Structure 1
Amino acid sequence: MCTGLAYTNDTFYFGRNLDLEYSLNNKVVVTPRNFPFKLRKEEELSSHYSIIGMAMVVDNYPLYFDAVNEKGLGMGGLNFDGFAVYHDEQKGKKNITPFEFIPYLLGKCATVQEAKTLLKDINLINISFSEKLQLSPLHWLISDKDSSIVVESTSEGLQVYDNQFGVLTNNPSFPYHKYNMSNYLNLTANIPENRLSSKVDLAVYSRGMGAIGLPGDLSSPSRFVRAAYARLNSVADKTEQANVSQFFHILDFVAQPRGGAMAPEGIHEITQYSSCVSVEELTYYYKTYENSQICAVSMKNLPLDSTDLFVYELEKEQAIHYTN
């Protein structure tokens, strides 16, 4: 289970929580412009925008979970179990595997609008990376500074939805989440008024009572509501440090501590990592379950016309600053 987030406060930030019961040996990976992406059914993508994000690297191929390109387009894949359907090849379409989807779109598109145009020709096909790495059932949040969309490959084909909330969690499908938000239209960050009746005198006795009814569980629909509420009411100073800090606070609002949710295998699901990419600074910020300190990898000073991946191990040991 996961939560994706797009946030704009003068500049644009994109990231997510990745919630799983096991580690995937993730690394921060920068793919330079001339790294050759070999595609299973389409021509090699040999020249493209540079990309920074979290990925597994298998056989020198970055399998991205979430990433942002140098133009400021962000994309993340989230679990969509029971709903995702990948298809056979189709003539007249660009047949892209789900593990190629993030580099293909971020390599070619600078904006959400460009992505929408490209998506009209894409068919996500049922081809795994290898026998050991089967396809994950996913849907995707794609965002830039101006807008967000959700992409879902279902039995009806590729569906693209405008997403005014700027967040995404897991199944059910996005139309359900959008409809479900209407159940919470009375939520407010302000001091609530008595709407029950003018005949009774009811007093506000605590701050935050405008958010009574905000769900507190860890289910996908509830995390969608909580993340949307926090994002849409977010206030932060317009500095890089304040924005990054605020972004992680929003993700913390829907994070999973060990013991809160059990996977079918009897293992506890946790937020393995949280990420935040600053488009202006071209920097990937992250923290892990083991290390709550914010760490950062920048691609500003890297040779982005290179052909070789830049791979950075995660800092997982808890860093503590002692003041005495």
Structure 2
Amino acid sequence: MCTASNYITKKHYFGRNFDYEISYNEKVTIAPRNYKFDFKLIDSIDSHYAMIGVAAGVDAYPLYYDACNENGLSIAGLNFAGNAKYLDEKKGMINITPFEFIPYLLGNFSTVTEVKEALKNINLVNINFSDELPLSPLHWMISDESGAIVVEPMEDGLKVYDNPVGVLTNNPPFDKQMFSLNDYRSLSNKNPENTFSDSFDLDEYSRGMGAIGLPGDLSSSSRFAKVAFTRANSYSGDSEEESVSQFFHILGSVEQQNGCTFIADPDLYEYTIYTSCYNTADSVLYYRTYNNSQITAVKLMSEDLDSGDLIHYKLITDEQISFIN
């Protein structure tokens, strides 16, 4: 299960917590403009926008979990178990598989507006990457500096929602997640007035009482409400360091600690394997991993973007501690 968010100060930031019980040797993967993307049912793309993202450790093809292209368009795919429905090939549609969805969109389009138009003709087909790697049930948050949308593959095709809160978790579907925020409309970053009764006084005994009732568990619906509240009330300066730091704090409000979400014996738990943060204007990917609190950065624009070869950087997963004496 995962959580994605955007955050806007002077620039647009986007990223996600990748929560799962198993790591697939994730890598920062850069696809330069001339890397050839092969697709199952449509023609290959020989030239496209360059992109940077986090992908599974499969050298043959960049299986992106989240990514951003050189124009500032960013996407994250999140688990959508029990709801995602991939269809058969449809004549007259652009038939692509779910694992091709991020490369296809980031390779061809610059803005959320362009993507919304393109989605009218896209059909996600039920074709596995391989026998060893079947499709994951996913939905996607797509964002740029103008706003965000959510794309959900359902029985009757793709559902596309505007996303005014800039947040996505897993289940239930996005429209139901949005409706659930009505339950929290009285929450505030300010301490509340006593509206319980005029007959007696009640003490304001602590700061932060305006958020009493905000969920704190690790379920996807609770994480949606928690990070939506945190993001909506976040404050930071406009500098790169302050903006990036605040973004990690936003997603840190719903990170999963190893041991708190049991999956199976022996000792298998879901936890936040990594957190990503993209400065989409400058095409910089920042990340932290579960055992490495230090922020690591990779710059798309520092690479040879006219190359035809993938560029990989393995995630740094060992803790980096700075001793000062």
Deviation string 1:221-277 (CA, Å, 9 cap, x unpaired) is 000000100101010010000011000011110000011111145611110000101
Q: 1:57 to 1:259 in 2, by over 3 A?
A: closer
User: How far is 1:147 from its partner?
Assistant: 0.8
User: How far is 1:306 from its partner?
Assistant: 1.1
Amino acid at match of 1:232: A
Contact 2:66 2:77 in 1 (8 A): yes
Deviation string 1:113-155 (CA, Å, 9 cap, x unpaired) is 1000000000000001111010000000001112111100011
* Superposed CA RMSD: 1.1
Contact 2:41 2:96 in 1 (8 A): yes
User: How far is 1:198 from its partner?
Assistant: 3.1
Which deviates more, 190-199 or 99-108? 190-199
Specify the SS of the correspondent of 1:225.
Answer: helix
**Match status 1:30 vs 2:63:** no
**Match status 1:182 vs 2:182:** yes
Q: 1:95 to 1:265 in 2, by over 3 A?
A: farther
Whole-Å Cα distance in 2 between the matches of residues 323 and 102 of structure 1? 42
2:223 aligned residue: 223
Amino acid at match of 2:9: N
1:110 aligned residue: 110
Deviation string 1:143-191 (CA, Å, 9 cap, x unpaired) is 1112111100011211001111101000111111011010000110012
Whole-Å Cα distance in 1 between the matches of residues 312 and 172 of structure 2? 34
Contact 2:24 2:57 in 1 (8 A): no
Specify the SS of the correspondent of 1:178.
Answer: helix
Amino acid at match of 1:142: I
1:272 aligned residue: 273
Deviation string 1:2-42 (CA, Å, 9 cap, x unpaired) is 00011111101110000011111100011111111001101
User: How far is 1:59 from its partner?
Assistant: 4.5
Following superposition of structure 1 onto structure 2, how do residues 92-131 of structure 1 map, counting pairs within 5 Å?
92-131=92-131
Whole-Å Cα distance in 2 between the matches of residues 99 and 66 of structure 1? 11
**Match status 1:295 vs 2:296:** yes
User: How far is 1:202 from its partner?
Assistant: 2.1
Contact 2:67 2:76 in 1 (8 A): yes
1:89 aligned residue: 89
1:167 aligned residue: 167
Whole-Å Cα distance in 1 between the matches of residues 70 and 11 of structure 2? 14
Specify the SS of the correspondent of 1:61.
Answer: coil
Specify the SS of the correspondent of 2:262.
Answer: coil
Specify the SS of the correspondent of 1:280.
Answer: coil
Following superposition of structure 1 onto structure 2, how do residues 9-158 of structure 1 map, counting pairs within 5 Å?
9-158=9-158
Structure 1 residue runs of 5 or longer lacking an equivalent are none
Amino acid at match of 2:216: G
Under a length normalisation based on structure 1, what TM-score does the superposition of the two structures give?
A: 0.98
Q: 1:139 to 1:264 in 2, by over 3 A?
A: farther
Whole-Å Cα distance in 1 between the matches of residues 156 and 205 of structure 2? 50
Whole-Å Cα distance in 1 between the matches of residues 165 and 265 of structure 2? 33
Whole-Å Cα distance in 2 between the matches of residues 88 and 104 of structure 1? 18
Specify the SS of the correspondent of 1:91.
Answer: coil
Whole-Å Cα distance in 2 between the matches of residues 152 and 103 of structure 1? 17
Specify the SS of the correspondent of 1:120.
Answer: helix
Contact 2:71 2:281 in 1 (8 A): no
User: How far is 1:291 from its partner?
Assistant: 0.8
Specify the SS of the correspondent of 2:139.
Answer: strand
Whole-Å Cα distance in 1 between the matches of residues 202 and 145 of structure 2? 42
Specify the SS of the correspondent of 2:16.
Answer: strand
Whole-Å Cα distance in 2 between the matches of residues 67 and 34 of structure 1? 17
Q: 1:265 to 1:108 in 2, by over 3 A?
A: farther
User: How far is 1:281 from its partner?
Assistant: 2.7
Amino acid at match of 1:318: E
Q: What is the count of residue pairs matched by the alignment?
A: 324
Whole-Å Cα distance in 1 between the matches of residues 167 and 257 of structure 2? 20
Whole-Å Cα distance in 2 between the matches of residues 16 and 313 of structure 1? 18
